Amino acid sequence: MNEKKQSTNQEAEALKRHLENQFQQLRPQGEMPGSLKKNVFDTLEALRLLSDVFDLFTVKFTKVESTVIGSIDSTSAPADKGEEEKEEDQDPSQ
Amino acid sequence: MIFLKNKPTGLDQLTDQQLVRAILGETDPKKQLLAQEELYGRYAEKVYFKCLGLVKDSDTAKDLTHDILVKMFLSLSKYRGEGAFRGWLFSMVYNHCINFLKKQKRLQPEDLEELDLPDEEIEAEHKYLLELRLLQLEQLIGQLTDTERLVLLLRYQEGLSVKQMAGAMGIGESAVKMRLKRSRDRLAELFKKLEK
């Protein structure tokens, strides 16, 4: 019984090795398309640009926006104040 | 995109793991591109021919290879360097191609029967597959269905275990064993016809 099982195992192993050997020699015919490299790196470049733009509008844009708003506030505040003062100086009856 | 050709960089001396670290750690875009090109050169052709073997159509294989390589570069940070890089990449190839074949409904629906088949790949009627030679296999492989070709390639060309195949195909191990058995049956049947 054991001998029979051992023989079956050996046959199974031999068949497995044979199939592996034959399948590993299989090579699909043809050549890899030359344009593939350009396509891959163009896509990566496009994704990088997209990521930069996205980054600009999420992180940097808010920073830039707050900086700009801050600078507008700081520059416009004295002017506004000046205008207010001017308005106060004017005679309300006029 | 301009590729810098034949410029000695020393990158070819690096192992895959070192090359991946070089790509991830490089801040200079030109140097990073050179490292990416080196990795591309090592694996693009292998990925393409694996895809071609699995889907049997050069245009589809080209599209799949493009997507897999882009995905590879974008997810390099997920490669932890624990196993071989090629194993990590090739499992991405199998998953991508299997998902494609599933979407195209080119894979047979999962077997409902859960048979407890042994791991051994021998059936008495398959003994004469030992006579099968490469030229004959090249003829027969085109006559197999997508599922039959896929399981035989994953098992005997890629050397995946039943467990690994189950993981890649998203089915149970017994379903993989059943598909393997049916695929061997079919290969044997086609081989018999060819011999007559």
Other C-beta atoms lying within 10 Å of the C-beta of residue B107 = 20
Chain A residues in contact with B49 by the CB 8 A cut-off are 27-28, 32
d(CA B73, CA B80): 14
Contact assessment for residue A45 and residue B1, using Cβ atoms and an 8 Å cutoff = yes
The ipTM of this complex is 0.77
Residue B13 CB contacts under 8 Å (≥ 6 apart), including other chains: none
Distance between CA atoms of B148 and A30, rounded to whole angstroms? 22
pLDDT of residue B122: 60
pLDDT of residue B112: 43
Whether A61 maps to a domain, the answer reads yes
pLDDT (0 to 100) of residue A12: 82
Within 17-46 of A, beta carbons closer than 8 Å to B belong to: 18-20, 22-28, 30, 32-33, 36-45
How close does chain A come to B143, measured CA to CA in Å? Answer: 15
Class of domain B124-195: mainly alpha
pLDDT at A14: 86
Taking 70 as the pLDDT cut, the residues of chain A under it are 1, 4, 59-62, 64-65, 75-94
Mutation site for A-interface testing, chosen from B93, B130, B155 by largest number of A Cβ within 10 Å:
B130
Count of domains in chain A?
Answer: 1
> Chain B contacts of A40, Cβ < 8 Å?
40, 44, 66, 69-70, 73
**Where do you find CATH 1.10.10.10 in chain B?**
124-195
CA dist list (Å): A84 to A77, A87, A89, A91, B66: 10, 5, 9, 13, 65
- Per-residue pLDDT tens digits for B148-191: 999 999 999 988 889 888 888 888 888 888 899 889 989 999 99
Task: Say whether residue B128 is in contact with chain A using an 8 A CB cutoff.
Answer: no
Residues of B in contact with A18 (CB under 8 A): 129-130, 132
Residue range(s) of every CATH 1.10.1740.10 domain in chain B: 11-103
Determine the pLDDT at residue B118.
56
Q: Establish if A31 belongs to a structural domain.
A: no
pLDDT digit string, tens, across residues B24-42: 998 888 899 999 999 999 9
Q: What is the pLDDT of residue B167?
A: 85
What CA–CA distance (Å, rounded) separates A33 from A27?
16
Is B111's pLDDT higher than 50? Answer: no
In a domain, A66, yes or no: yes
A and B: number of Cβ contacts within 8 A:
93
- Decide if A70 is inside a domain: yes
Architecture label for domain B11-103: Orthogonal Bundle (1.10)
Residue ranges making up the domain that contains A63: 44-87
**Looking at the domain assignment, is residue A78 inside a domain?**
yes
Does residue A14 fall inside a structural domain? no
Q: Which of B9, B132, B65 is nearest to A39 (CA)?
A: B65
- Residue A20 resides in a domain: no
User: Which of B69, B132, B141 shows the shortest C-beta gap to A40?
Assistant: B69
Mean pLDDT of chain B: 85
Question: Is A54 within a domain?
Answer: yes
